[in-house]
Structure 1
């Protein structure tokens, strides 16, 4: 392979491919975070309960999670460009549905469809990019993609706050529509159609995984309202567990499994996936309430709340680019344990000092600590999950990792909201403060569980190990 500095420059069409895929990736990841600073406005406008607010986040993440691997398979079978364009159209239509939602039930339904569109877009961006860009320039193109998509971390809450303050909350969804409508014709002209191995779709696996996750999340969401010992909660929780066991049973027998269970024989793969599950559950749960605390507890405007989260977002954007360079020297284990340990310490710190009316400056240090910890552990979890698998399994391993991350976010938000509802509520600022403290303690526990999972991750320099395939840790945004 020719050195990168002697490789020909990208053509105009190839630069368009990079631009289209990068902007699409940013738009999809942005919608996981832009909603955080609008939750308080949505609650007031649509008279939503905390459980309904939770579903506005969970419906998107859950649909995104369970359809990711199926979406990649659809792209391989029916054409990646075709499915990518379809995903953009679905995402745009669902965004308009969110903006026009007359009530919270309609908003939740539209968010689920939006998540399905995001699942079609996100895995195909990298496949299309990899197909269009020559190997000698691919690393640079992926760097541009990651940097643009990574802007969603610091920009998401800030943009959401600015839109809600300057216009109104529906516009956090309206802004997706013109972006998608511009990307669709450019993508049609610039992207070449490509196909992958036409594996049989594991529709039974998708259905079992969806219903299992839905049952478990439903029980956690309804626990405080219906009662933890109620027939509704117990039956949905048991049904979720049984469906999860059925999913595992089916994956062992399916001719083309959605989630190949043999990958979990690798200790590194299992550790990386367990760590990212708890990692994103804690991080997304914390973001769910932090923006609300700044607005409800400290009386910030949505825009000011977005600025208030900047210490978290800015450091979370910078740190992965530094941490990734050191993983090959000392291994993944120290970064996972230290990163999630720092995030847990920051959550406990906030739980201790959080008080309605407190001075904002007291939150800056723990927000920076949390952002650094989350960002430090992210590339390490990805490296652990992917560095020990056989080359033929890298695609499915990557899909499994992304799925576990999104499922962790859905279940993590459910756990954190359950803790909030058990000890507080929206009846008064004091009640919100009590619930927020409980939520931060729940985030602490989730993060510590992730740190413990990291004990099984690889340690030591890469040359001292003999993995099946070594991959450079991707500089992935902290929130897709």
Structure 2
């Protein structure tokens, strides 16, 4: 990372790490548009869907290691450089809920195709950028494309794969790919920047996006379009409120909790979101149906989706800083340092679908969250001079196991029993809360870091390690709150699908 440890402005973790919904509803009578393809076609459909979402996950970190080269080529100021990442965060986080609802109304395959093409076009524009403002516009357009892409991939998994083992297997692969996207982005960004140019970190999306867009109509079944009026008032207030909230959190991470613009952003967001809730309670076809919260399990799951990333994403950020600024790793080596975590996630997700069928979501979720809490507590004890093997490797493996065991059951709890007409809205809300939770968590952990290091003395690496350790402790406490919410709110093992 090139940004100084005292002013981190964005998460370096995934778009959220594991955002695959688990079991969606058993739909009544299958519609012609929802007929499930044969297994060989299902495998190809899964590959296409996973590739679409992997572009979004990889792009959340692939540019990070290229920031010094971008700053040098396009003459960014230090403050302006942070918006290479924040422009993407702001558009993606603010528009996710709207993107989910667009898929419900226009058709999710059609929406996914549009999102992928927009993402590829924005990547082309960014790769050809010759001015700082040009690149920032391209990054914002990438965020819009990602907001259309992500909820549609989630919903298409549920509509293309039948209930039971096939869907669980597909979701296991999908979740593992979504979870390791950030690590792949760090490695890929380091390779492309070192061997070619930072521009290829963006241009690589162009052929991939075109290939996915061509394959979608052939291999992925379209969902039913739900005719009716679009909730324009809800879309406007919800999107503006989410955007204001994301912007306020980004400002906090840069300028602290007393910044006037941050406080104004939070006030504006509170007013807009209150109006959004009022509109949704009265709308005939709301963009976010409030009936999604009637289930105790689902409401508890949404709380967990907000809290768990809040404790994790900041930890991911400081791990990236430690490997590069305290241990002196280059971009490529820093990316490979995360591979043990990536492998732990992947290995765990290979067995989670079978365990989920046998034991239900709650035992897996509580076990995974406990591992994340323990990993954060272990990192809390980090001391200056600790190396990668002695200080970071063990907690990173534990965190990977916890992530692999937590997110799939958590998403399964949220998406179980969702009516087909609400699948996109539920998926969009799920990802919105994950993204906002990660942004909130990062701003809190950055504040803890700044407080711990404001009057610290010693070498830069020692100060970074001391501050990061305090931030890890705060992240562990947030994850503990998520664990308590899950233990108290979830009612136990849901009935398996028949």
TM range (shorter): 0.7 to 0.9
Name 1:175's counterpart in structure 2.
204
Residue 197 (str. 1) matches residue 229 (str. 2)? no
Inter-partner Cα distance in structure 2 for 1:132 and 1:461 = 25
Which residue in 1 is equivalent to 2:316?
A: 287
Query: Normalization by structure 1: what TM-score?
Result: 0.81
Corresponding position: 1:325 with 2:357: no
- Across the aligned residues of Structure 1 and Structure 2, the Cα RMSD in angstroms comes to 3.7
Aligned partner of 1:124 in structure 2 is: 152
Is residue 401 of structure 2 the alignment partner of residue 372 of structure 1?
Answer: yes
Query: Aligned partners of 1:348 and 1:56: how far apart in 2?
Result: 32
In the other structure, the counterpart of 1:83 is 111
Map 1:150-161 onto structure 2 (within 5 A): 152=181, 154-161=183-190
User: What residue in structure 1 maps to residue 475 of structure 2?
Assistant: 443
TM-score normalised by structure 2 residue count? 0.78
- In the alignment, which residue of structure 1 is the partner of 2:11? none
Q: Distance in 1 between matches of 2:135 and 2:473?
A: 29
Name the structure 1 match of 2:490.
458
Residue 186 of structure 1: CA displacement?
Answer: 3.8
Question: 285, 291, 306: which is aligned to 1:256?
Answer: 285
C-alpha separation between the residues in 1 aligned to 2:259 and 2:160? Answer: 55
Moved more, 269-278 or 63-72: 63-72
2:92 alignment partner in structure 1: 64
Q: Is the 8 A contact 2:62 2:186 kept in 1?
A: yes
Residues 104, 423 of structure 2: 8 Å contact kept: no
Per the alignment, do residues 332 and 431 of structure 1 end up closer, same or farther by CA in structure 2, a change over 3 Å counting?
same
Deviation at 1:301, TM superposition (A): 0.8
Q: Which has the higher relative contact order, 1 or 2, with Cα contacts under 8 A spaced 6 or more apart?
A: 2
Equivalent-residue separation in structure 2 for 1:133 and 1:374 (angstroms): 24
**What's the counterpart of residue 415 of structure 2?**
386
Relative distance call for 1:226 and 1:57 in structure 2 (3 A) is closer
- Residue 282 of structure 2: SS of its match in structure 1? coil
**Separation in 1, partners of 2:427, 2:125:** 31
The whole-number CA distance in structure 2 between the counterparts of 1:273 and 1:30 is 24
Report the more deviating stretch, 442-451 or 191-200. Answer: 191-200
User: Alpha-carbon deviation of 1:271?
Assistant: 0.9
In structure 1, what is the Cα distance between the partners aligned to 2:177 and 2:395? 26
1:245 corresponds to which of 268, 274, 280: 274
Q: CA deviation at 1:253?
A: 1.6
Contact persistence 1:329–1:461 (CA under 8 A): no
Report if the CA contact (8 A) 1:347-1:440 is conserved.
yes
- Give deviations 1:266-294, integer Å, cap 9, x for gaps: 21111111111122233222222322221
Deviation, 1:296, is 1.1
What is the distance in 1 between the residues matched to 2:224 and 2:108? 6
| Conservation of the 8 A alpha-carbon contact between 1:297 and 1:432 | yes
Deviating more after overlay: 361-370 vs 374-383: 374-383
SS state at 1:252 partner:
helix
Aligned partners of 1:62 and 1:407 also within 8 Å: no
Query: Alpha carbons of 1:168 and 1:258: their partners in 2 closer, same or farther (altered >3 Å)?
Result: same
Question: Structure 2 CA distance, aligned partners of 1:360 and 1:144?
Answer: 29
Matched-pair contact (CA < 8 Å) for 1:36–1:288: no
Matches within 5 A, 1:257-406: 257-355=286-384, 358-362=386-390, 363-387=392-416, 389=418, 393-406=422-435
Match for 1:211 among 206, 221, 240? 240
The one of 135, 141, 165 equivalent to 1:113 is 141
CA shift, 1:234, in A, is: 2.6
Cα distance change, pair 200–439 in 1 and its aligned pair in 2 (3 A): farther
- Change in CA separation of 1:344 and 1:428 when aligned onto 2, cut-off 3 Å: same
Following the alignment from structure 1 to structure 2, what is the Cα–Cα distance between the partners of residues 85 and 389? 24
Q: 1:98 aligns with which of 126, 145, 153?
A: 126
Distance 2:253 2:346 in 1: 36
Between 185-194 and 238-247, report the one with greater CA deviation.
185-194
Change (3 A) 1:95 1:281: farther
Classify 1:168/1:451 alpha carbon distance in 2 versus 1 (closer, same or farther; 3 Å): farther
Provide the C-alpha distance between the structure 1 equivalents of 2:38 and 2:262, rounded to a whole number of angstroms. 59
Distance in 2 (CA, whole Å) between partners of 1:47 and 1:397 is 39
Q: Is the 8 A contact 1:99 1:174 kept in 2?
A: yes
- Name the structure 1 match of 2:59: 31
Q: For the residues of structure 1 that align with 2:45 and 2:184, how far apart are their CA atoms? A: 23
